[in-house]
Structure 1
């Protein structure tokens, strides 16, 4: 068993705080835990070092909960998945899957973002089944810029991202990191190892592409 699998993320106390956390800022940056330290812990945990796995969990858990809160902020208020549950499920998927050759702290959070996307999509499917076809609605927007895109099912967003990836993989990655994990432009740039301006360029293209796909065609 992988070292990190032997311990489930702490959640009892954090679950009690979720309601209070909802009122806090969703734009807080990731903690300043040293990138080199996180990378070292990731490598040691991958090799089976239990102490490093425990230390890693302590170092990233608050960050993951922050990402989860920002990720949940784009959903309608009637969703049933809580940030703590999202963190737990994403964390377990990360370490129960195939071993990852971790490159950096940013790489870890990028993988976490991908897993949170999968958790949210799976939750959306379960929600649709429970509500007999009424999908979980999300608002795909960047409040600092243009008007929000039309609200749509999270499954539809997932399908659109798969199509966008075929058109422009980097732009799709930016949307995934910003939308499904709530990372800032700076954090996205770090995760993708590109410049801030490159992230903005990809986001502008992706948003325009998504707007075209989501805007109903006018009939003649």
Structure 2
């Protein structure tokens, strides 16, 4: 990331979007803080966190995302993309660690707990099982998968998810219920 420093004055959405599209500038402090918080939630409780901290996750995701430059429509568009890339970084790390271990103990997880605390205390194998279930869900109904991804991995609120997807909040809530029901049939939750 470049050397441009931003003023400490709060920026509006269009200013943040313009800065995100400026490939030579640093991330806005507001956006970087949000990304670090998102990364901390995603790695909390993961065994991968012993070798990958929040800063490293943000940086690795930023580098991967930078390989495919695009124009960001909004801060939520950028955050959603970063959430997806962070998810893939964690999945790749989990696969690497599981390959080293050649398997491992599976632990039951509570979906309600995972929803309140995104990705907390998920075992590596559980993370891979969740990723596989989300991939299957994406094949069946891409919007349901995006709702879950934005809520669980992106940490976006119902309001932010609705705005990002261009649907109403009740639609997001219905989609979330449907996605949870699907996951309930695919995964063993407590």
- The structure with the largest alpha-carbon Rg is 1
Matches for 1:37-116 after TM superposition, within 5 Å: 37-43=15-21, 45-46=22-23, 50=24, 53-54=25-26, 56-73=27-44, 75-76=45-46, 79-80=49-50, 81-95=52-66, 97-116=67-86
SS of residue paired to 2:134: helix
Q: CA RMSD in A?
A: 3.0
The residue aligned with 1:141 is 111
User: Is the 1:171–1:202 Cα contact (8 Å) retained in structure 2?
Assistant: yes
Whether 1:202 and 2:175 are equivalent positions in the alignment is yes
Equivalent in the alignment of 1:131: 101
Whether the aligned pair in 2 keeps the contact of 1:189 and 1:199 (CA below 8 Å) is yes
Q: What is aligned with 2:13?
A: 35
**Matched residues, number:** 176
1:187 deviates by 2.4
Shift of residue 33, structure 1, vs aligned partner: 4.7
Residue 175 of structure 1 deviates from its aligned partner by 1.0
**Please, which runs of 5 or more residues in structure 2 have no aligned partner?**
4-9, 116-121
User: Contact between 1:65 and 1:84, CA under 8 Å: does it hold in 2?
Assistant: yes
TM-score by length of 1: 0.69
CA contact (8 A) 1:93 1:115 kept: yes
- TM-score normalised over the length of structure 2: 0.79
Q: Distance in 1 between matches of 2:20 and 2:110?
A: 32
CA contact (8 A) 1:70 1:181 kept: no
- Cα distance in 2 for partners of 1:197, 1:183 equals 15
- Alpha carbons of structure 1 residues 138 and 72: separation in structure 2 relative to 1, 3 Å: farther
* 1:179 is aligned to 2:152: yes
